[in-house]
Amino acid sequence: MRWRFRQISDWAVSWAGHPVVPVTLVAFAVIWTAVGLSFSFPRGWFLLTNMIGTLIIFFILLLVQHSQNRDMMALHAKLDELIRSSKAGNHWIAVEKKNAEAIEGMRRQHHDQISKTAN
């Protein structure tokens, strides 16, 4: 089930990111509004359209966020492996899980070490 969701979400995110999609949606909205105004559709029709559009946007937002979170986890794993295999200090591994003050302290300490070696 999990791999199926990943497959569907990857497909939906790549489809939603295609450059033709926004142009098509704007054209569809203009045509929909023109047809609705010319045939005097009731106000509820436009409210329903607005609700459906909002739900679709919310769903796509969640899919994009899911995809971005997965990509960031993969990126962090790759960076951690590069740190492990290099001469860099292993204290930088999984630094993204620390709080902001700890990260800032590590950054300042690293900057101070670079300044001392440069002088």
Residue 102: inside a domain: no
For residue 36, what are the domain limits? 2-88
Residue 72: inside a domain: yes
Cα separations (Å) of 96 from 53, 78, 100, 102, 107? Answer: 35, 13, 9, 10, 12
For residues 73, 74, 78 and 79, what is the CA-based torsion angle, rounded to 10 degrees?
Answer: -30
Give the span between the Cα atoms of 61 and 49, in whole angstroms: 18
The predicted pLDDT at position 119 comes to 62
Residue 7: inside a domain: yes
Residue 79: inside a domain: yes
Find out whether 7 and 1 touch, Cβ atoms under 8 Å: no
Find out whether 63 and 54 touch, Cβ atoms under 8 Å: no
Residue 96: inside a domain: no
pTM value? 0.56
Closest among 92, 98, 96 to 113, alpha carbons compared: 92
Residue 111: inside a domain: no
Residue 29: inside a domain: yes
DSSP state of 86: S
The predicted pLDDT at position 38 comes to 84
How many domains in the chain? 1
Question: How much is the average pLDDT of 44-49?
Answer: 81
Which tens digits make up the pLDDT trace of 51-109?
A: 988 998 888 888 888 888 888 888 888 888 888 888 777 777 777 788 888 888 888 88
Share of the chain above pLDDT 70, in %: 96
Residue position matching structure tokens 């009731």? 42
Find out whether 104 and 84 touch, Cβ atoms under 8 Å: no
Give the span between the Cα atoms of 109 and 102, in whole angstroms: 11
Residue 118: inside a domain: no
- Write down the mean pLDDT value for the chain: 81
Question: How much is the average pLDDT of 26-42?
Answer: 84
